[in-house]
């Protein structure tokens, strides 16, 4: 018989019958503790509120997509190749070692008792040993990379107020399991002469040679083997039992979160019921099971915080901490048997220990039985500080960066709605709400003046879509209608439509604020009024498609108006609409951003551009609501190329674009920040872009961006460095140059 045919080894070498029995008993206990912990976790989610989305529909497809995302590590590689490679090594090493252990267990406990033979011999055994060593080595290398990332820069994104000993324990337990397995293998090779030619176990063999060089004999290896074997087994059992009770549970929760993801989360917010007793974020009972799952899926990786423009400029917002603060509070006030933070609650609002969990001095043990006395969000003493929610720009950068699809903005909006319900919002926002309620726009101007900008569009007749059938119903928006700088953009766009001989019209004084940002700062019922008014107005007009100037309008009309359940509010005397049917539920009416429409017009040759009219060096800023919200990156760039400009991308572009600061009510509020988001973005344009100071024009495709960057250009001292222009303005200049 050849060496390959005879190759195998004794699994329980030096372990007697009592040791084997003890091993199986401990294994059963560990698995039982693990299963109970997993059950308790999911039972806790079931106590959360019903989610408005059907997150488990088409479950096989969802599961396959989540499996692909996990196995490819595609989200981990995004923006951070080092972390992606590290996570891939750890994940694939862990999975292969888990499968290998399962295969060996099946051979010992099922196959051998049934057949009296073993398949864990010969070529299969040798291939098995090679795979275990290869992937075990990747596993150890990956864990080592994680240790380097974590401890080399202790002030990096992996460190924050929720960093704790469990993070260290998780890392070093994995490292000890990986190295311990190789040490056990090396001792077995030294102590069992029959394995001396087992070169496929290349890591174990190398360690065995090292041990022998250090003077370890076969007898010594045999004596040490039992101690190391039991140490390794006990650590493995402890780790398995620990998984549902601490950070390792993210391995399960993250996968579940990917399965339950909403592809349009953030771009479309959940509706609120008409029930007058409904509360938004008054207590934990207001959070859905998916929002509870978000907390457990969080790995504390800090990618969301790194991407957050509010955190970057020094505002009081750390997206990771908000999610983890909510989780910590949940664990401190429920009787959840797997709650891991009973010793205290690290919160954003100053509630930092168990003695401070209540506002009347009650010891933390009182809330352990379910007593909730801390507001979820408040100016002072809440789990989350109101200032943190007011700092959010609703840019979706946190959600785009998150590798496990945590839906930050859903929870953030829920808390904003609670602040609005309590009248605890910024005074400037209160003024905006009042202006919109009384005049229909955020400027407080008379609606009769909404269409006055058309008077200065030379030789262009802008039709009234309420009276004339048109191809495109143009929703202009507040800023292009009332702001002097953005009126120039509206006029340029009207000229573009006219040049291309497009049939278009506007609503004049029947157009009101679209409600997108009003909704994101928490004024849901005002949003409902605006949406109801608009869909009733749309119903009275004859048109083929809707085109929007503002990406914010584009987003809410396209993604959110069709989801409003008007029938639920039909009997509400406070709602000034008389509609019960949903609007555009099947998407039969196309809704476009203007760059998408004009891109087609240019492609059809209807604007007469040759592609070499302008010679400017420019950079382009992706608006959040056009890019991250709606995945439109190419249309504006195609239009820029059509003008002939030399386009240079900023380091943070496309899905990584840095918000101007205007979203989420930022256009209407003042913040205590080290530098304005618009100033940071302009600095990036003229300092970090490849063209550097040669950049002549900073190009935008959003009226809010225009406003924010014009302001940042002045306050940041960039007036002599770069000019702010809209894509539409460049197109008009190119058309004029062609003539």
Is a pLDDT exceeding 90 seen at residue 450? Answer: yes
What is the mean predicted confidence (pLDDT) over 723-739?
93
- pTM value? 0.91
- Name the pLDDT band for 372 (thresholds 50, 70, 90): low
Closest CA to 728 of 600, 606, 595: 595
Residue-wise DSSP of 452-502 = GGGGGSTT---EETTTS-EEEEEE--HHHHH-HHHHHHHHHHHHHHHHTT-
Give the tens place of pLDDT for each residue, 138-149: 999 999 999 999
DSSP 568: G
- Identify the pLDDT of residue 352: 36
Comparing 161-170, 353-362, 406-415, the range with the smallest average pLDDT is 353-362
Strands 543-548 and 470-475, sheet pairing? parallel
The span from the CA of 544 to the CA of 465, in Å, is 11
Closest CA to 309 of 680, 686, 715: 680
Burial of 73-103, coded b for 16+ CB within 10 Å and e otherwise, reads: bebbbbbbeebbbbbbbbbbbbebbeebeeb
Looking at per-residue pLDDT, the higher value among 672 and 662 belongs to 662
Long-range contacts at 258-261 (CB < 8 A, ≥ 24 apart):
258/65, 258/66, 258/69, 258/70, 258/404, 258/405, 259/55, 259/56, 259/59, 259/62, 259/63, 259/66, 260/55, 260/56, 260/62, 260/290, 260/293, 261/55, 261/62, 261/66, 261/405, 261/407
The span from the CA of 184 to the CA of 225, in Å, is 7
Is a pLDDT exceeding 80 seen at residue 226? Answer: yes
Give the tens place of pLDDT for each residue, 53-90: 999 999 999 999 999 999 999 999 988 999 999 999 99
Contacts with 622 (C-beta within 8 Å, 6 or more apart), sequence order: 628, 633, 636, 653, 654, 655, 657
The span from the CA of 306 to the CA of 20, in Å, is 49
Question: Cβ distance 305 to 161 under 8 Å?
Answer: no
Q: Domain 287-421 maps to which CATH number in 1.10.760, 1.10.1060, 1.10.3470, 1.10.15? A: 1.10.1060
Q: What are the structural domain ranges in the chain?
A: 14-39+67-245, 287-421, 439-573, 603-738
Give the tens place of pLDDT for each residue, 461-510: 999 999 999 999 999 999 999 999 999 999 999 999 999 999 999 999 99
Give the tens place of pLDDT for each residue, 279-309: 999 999 999 999 999 999 999 999 999 999 9
- Name the pLDDT band for 196 (thresholds 50, 70, 90): confident
Residue 150, both tokens: 């974590």
Is a pLDDT exceeding 50 seen at residue 358? Answer: no
Phi, psi of 358 (to 5 degrees): -110, 155
Residues in the chain: 739
DSSP 147: H
Cα torsion 334, 339, 344, 346: sign: negative
What is the mean predicted confidence (pLDDT) over 197-217?
93
Is a pLDDT exceeding 60 seen at residue 610? Answer: yes
- Does the fold of domain 287-421 match that of domain 14-39+67-245? no
Strands 590-593 and 543-548, sheet pairing? parallel
Inter-axis angle of helices 218-242 and 17-46, nearest 10 = 20
DSSP 214: T
Strands 617-620 and 470-475, sheet pairing? unpaired
DSSP 611: S
What is the mean predicted confidence (pLDDT) over 577-587?
92
Question: Cβ distance 575 to 532 under 8 Å?
Answer: yes
The span from the CA of 563 to the CA of 268, in Å, is 8
What is the mean predicted confidence (pLDDT) over 534-542?
96
Q: Which fold, 14-39+67-245?
A: Fumarate Reductase Cytochrome B subunit (1.20.950)
Residue 516, both tokens: 């997108």
Is a pLDDT exceeding 80 seen at residue 439? Answer: yes
Phi, psi of 147 (to 5 degrees): -65, -40
- Identify the pLDDT of residue 733: 96
The fraction of the chain above a pLDDT of 90, given in percent, is 83
Which three-class secondary structure string do you get for 344-384?
Answer: CCCCCCCCCCHHHCCCCCCCHHHHCCCCCCCCCEECCCCCE
Closest CA to 649 of 663, 634, 660, 664: 634
End-to-end CA distance of the chain: 90
Residue-wise DSSP of 123-164 = HHHHHHHHHHHHHHHHHHHHHHHHHHHHHH-TTSTT-STT--
Residue 250, both tokens: 């993210």
- Identify the pLDDT of residue 572: 83
Contacts with 58 (C-beta within 8 Å, 6 or more apart), sequence order: none
**Helices in 384-440 by DSSP H: which ranges?**
386-391, 397-401, 408-421, 427-439
Contacts with 634 (C-beta within 8 Å, 6 or more apart), sequence order: 599
Task: Report the number of secondary-structure helices (H) and strands (E) in the chain.
Answer: 30, 11
Is a pLDDT exceeding 50 seen at residue 198? Answer: yes
The fraction of the chain above a pLDDT of 70, given in percent, is 94
What is the mean predicted confidence (pLDDT) over 118-143?
94
Is a pLDDT exceeding 90 seen at residue 571? Answer: no
Residue 382, both tokens: 């809440």
The span from the CA of 602 to the CA of 591, in Å, is 19
């Amino acid at each position: 018989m050849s060496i390959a045919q005879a190759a195998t080894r004794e699994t329980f070498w030096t372990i007697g019958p009592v040791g084997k029995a003890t091993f199986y008993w401990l294994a059963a206990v560990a698995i039982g503790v693990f299963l109970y912990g997993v059950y308790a976790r999911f039972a806790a989610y079931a106590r959360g509120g019903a989610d408005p989305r059907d997150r488990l529909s088409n479950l096989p497809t969802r599961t396959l997509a989540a499996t692909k995302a996990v196995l490819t590590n595609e989200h981990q590689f995004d923006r951070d190749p080092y972390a992606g490679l590290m996570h891939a090594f750890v994940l694939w090493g862990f999975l292969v070692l888990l499968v290998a252990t399962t295969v060996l267990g099946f051979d010992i406990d099922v196959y051998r008792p049934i057949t009296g033979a073993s398949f864990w011999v010969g070529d299969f055994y040798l291939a098995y040993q090679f795979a275990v060593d290869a992937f075990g080595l990747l596993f150890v290398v990956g864990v080592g990379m994680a240790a380097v990332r974590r401890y080399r820069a202790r002030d990096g994104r992996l460190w924050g107020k929720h960093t704790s000993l469990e993070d260290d324990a998780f890392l070093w337990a994995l490292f000890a399991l990986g190295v311990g397995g190789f040490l056990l293998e090396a001792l077995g090779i030294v102590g069992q002469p029959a394995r001396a030619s087992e070169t496929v176990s290349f890591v174990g063999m190398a360690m065995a040679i090292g041990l022998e060089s250090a003077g370890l004999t076969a007898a010594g290896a045999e004596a040490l083997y039992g101690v190391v074997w039991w140490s390794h087994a006990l650590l493995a059992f402890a780790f398995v039992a620990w998984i549902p009770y601490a950070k390792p549970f993210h391995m399960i929760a993250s996968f579940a979160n990917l399965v339950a993801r909403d592809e349009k989360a953030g771009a479309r917010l959940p509706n609120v019921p008409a029930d007058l007793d409904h509360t938004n974020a008054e207590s934990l009972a207001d959070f859905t099971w998916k929002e509870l799952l978000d907390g457990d899926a969080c790995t504390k990786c800090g990618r969301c915080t790194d991407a957050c423009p509010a955190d970057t400029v020094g505002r009081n917002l750390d997206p990771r901490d908000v999610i983890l603060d909510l989780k910590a509070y949940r664990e401190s006030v429920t009787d959840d048997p797997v709650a891991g933070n009973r010793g205290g609650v690290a919160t954003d609002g100053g509630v930092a220990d168990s003695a401070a969990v209540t506002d009347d001095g009650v010891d933390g043990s009182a809330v352990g039985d379910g007593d909730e006395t801390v507001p979820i969000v408040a100016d002072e003493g809440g789990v989350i500080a109101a200032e943190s929610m007011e700092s959010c720009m609703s840019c979706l950068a946190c959600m785009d960066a998150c590798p496990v699809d945590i839906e930050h903005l859903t929870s953030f909006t829920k808390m904003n709605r609670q602040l609005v319900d309590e009248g605890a919002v910024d005074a400037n926002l209160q003024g905006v709400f009042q202006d919109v309620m009384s005049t229909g726009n955020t400027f407080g101007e008379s609606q009769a003046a909404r269409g006055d900008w058309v008077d200065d569009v030379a030789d262009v007749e802008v039709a009234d879509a309420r009276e004339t059938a048109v191809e495109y119903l143009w929703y202009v928006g507040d800023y292009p209608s009332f702001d002097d700088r953005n009126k120039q953009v509206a006029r340029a766009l009207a000229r573009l439509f006219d040049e291309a001989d497009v049939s278009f019209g506007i609503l004049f004084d029947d157009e009101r604020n679209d409600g997108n940002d009003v909704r994101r700062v928490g004024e849901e019922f005002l949003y409902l009024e605006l949406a109801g008014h608009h869909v009733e107005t749309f119903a009275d007009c004859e048109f083929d498609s809707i085109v929007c100037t503002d990406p914010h309008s584009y987003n809410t009309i396209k993604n959110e108006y069709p989801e409003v359940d008007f029938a639920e509010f039909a009997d509400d005397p406070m709602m000034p609409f008389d509609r019960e049917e949903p609007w555009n539920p099947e998407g039969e009416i196309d809704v476009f951003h203007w760059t998408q429409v004009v891109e087609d017009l240019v492609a059809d040759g209807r604007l007469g551009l040759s592609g070499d009219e302008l010679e400017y060096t420019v950079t382009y800023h992706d608006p959040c609501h056009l890019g991250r919200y709606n995945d439109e990156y190419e249309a504006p760039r195609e239009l820029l190329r059509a003008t002939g400009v030399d386009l240079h991308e900023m380091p943070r572009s496309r899905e990584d674009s840095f918000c101007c600061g205007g979203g989420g009510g930022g256009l209407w509020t003042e913040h205590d920040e080290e530098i304005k988001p618009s100033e940071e973005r302009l600095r990036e344009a003229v300092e970090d872009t490849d063209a550097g100071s040669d950049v002549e024009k900073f190009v935008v495709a959003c009226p809010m961006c225009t406003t924010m960057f014009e302001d940042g250009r002045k306050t940041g001292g960039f007036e002599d460095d770069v000019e702010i222009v809209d894509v539409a303005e460049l197109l008009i200049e190119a058309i004029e140059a062609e003539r």
